[in-house]
């Protein structure tokens, strides 16, 4: 049986560990707070969920070998440093983070290639950790350029509740997952400021147009963006308060104050995406507006009003 190591005991990593363990897979959850997890078998990331005593928990990847699968459920901006300190290479490293490295403008699979090399993949799609932990039906995309590895991962990681769809377009899968967080912040701002659901629908739709323009310019396949890792993930994260990026935007729009977390990956992504749009001469007014609001240079009302006052054009 293929051994699965999950680095990162946040909500998503822990949820995956739970569902894989329930499915009878050989899984180990890697946590910086392993002693506390082993003792209490509970986590603040998933309130009301208990971790079975039979679930293996460790504080390191020292037992990782070249035949194992390593799932990286850690924030995008921490990925490079984590991999640089990894002592043993796995058979394949799978990123779950949704973002773009702020310094290098690289996506997760490129970061893996540039640090540890070897086979890489991205696991992404419309999903909330709480749903996965409860065993609710969830469809995800597993994307890799290596068809044989992809087929193996699809079989190894699928369970009764998680259905994996295979893609050969990791660039499209990871860009869809990253860019949707920026639009989710915009939708949160819109609802928080009281502009209503109709305005949110317009932002979501026009935001998707921005995603398609940039992603295809960077090498993504358009059909990937119309799948689970693109429009599917976008709709979920733009319409639910469970989305950390939506909630972050909502708090700003409603003047509730914000507590910035590394798991609100749309903040760094928005800044990276804006730089990429300027580099490639792509007009992305929603992304620009989100950055202006995050950086405090413009108010929510000014940005949203400016978007409405843009010159009339064809869709």
Catalytic residue among 91, 98, 180, 288: 180
Torsion of Cα atoms, 288 then 289 then 294 then 295, to 10°: 70
Greatest C-alpha distance within the chain: 61
Neighbours of 159 (CB within 10 A): 17
Beta-strand relationship, 26-30 and 92-95: unpaired
Q: Are 19 and 162 in contact (CB under 8 A)?
A: yes
Q: Inter-axis angle of helices 108-115 and 76-84, to 10 degrees?
A: 10
Q: What contacts 207, CB < 8 A, 6 or more positions away?
A: 180, 182, 183, 186, 187, 234, 238, 286
Closest CA to 79 of 155, 3, 163, 174: 174
Rg (CA), the chain: 19
Task: State CA 295 to chain mean position distance.
Answer: 22
Q: What contacts 235, CB < 8 A, 6 or more positions away?
A: 126, 204
d(CA 16, CA 6): 8
Could you confirm whether 98 is annotated as catalytic? no
d(CA 56, CA 30): 9
Q: Which residues are catalytic?
A: 180
């Amino acid at each position: 049986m293929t051994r699965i190591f999950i680095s990162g005991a946040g909500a998503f990593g822990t949820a995956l560990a739970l569902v894989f363990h329930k499915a009878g897979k050989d899984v180990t959850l890697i946590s910086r707070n392993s002693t506390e997890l082993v003792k209490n078998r509970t986590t603040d990331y998933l309130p009301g969920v208990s971790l079975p005593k039979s679930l293996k928990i460790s504080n390191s990847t020292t037992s990782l070998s070249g035949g194992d699968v390593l799932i990286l459920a850690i924030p995008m901006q921490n990925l490079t440093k984590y991999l640089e300190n990894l002592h043993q290479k796995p058979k394949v490293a799978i990123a779950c983070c949704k973002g773009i490295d702020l310094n290098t403008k690289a996506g997760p699979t490129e970061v893996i290639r540039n640090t540890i090399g070897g086979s890489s993949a991205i696991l992404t799609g419309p999903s909330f950790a709480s749903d996965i932990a409860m065993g609710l039906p969830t469809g995800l995309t597993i994307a890799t350029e290596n068809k044989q590895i992809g087929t193996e991962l699809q079989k190894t990681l699928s369970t009764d509740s998680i259905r994996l769809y295979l893609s050969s377009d990791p660039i499209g899968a990871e860009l869809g997952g990253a860019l949707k967080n920026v639009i989710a912040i915009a939708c949160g701002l819109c609802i928080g400021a009281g502009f209503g659901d109709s305005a949110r629908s317009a932002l979501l739709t026009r935001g998707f147009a921005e995603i398609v323009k940039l992603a295809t310019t960077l090498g993504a396949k358009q059909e990937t963006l119309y799948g689970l890792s693109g429009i599917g993930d976008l709709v979920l994260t733009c319409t639910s308060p469970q989305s950390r990026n939506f909630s972050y935007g909502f708090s700003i729009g409603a003047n509730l104050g914000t507590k910035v977390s590394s798991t609100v990956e749309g903040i760094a992504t928005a800044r990276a995406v804006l730089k990429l749009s300027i580099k490639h001469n792509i007009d992305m007014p929603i992304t620009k507006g989100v950055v202006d609001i995050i950086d405090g240079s413009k108010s929510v009302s000014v940005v949203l009003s400016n978007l409405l006052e843009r010159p009339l054009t064809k869709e």
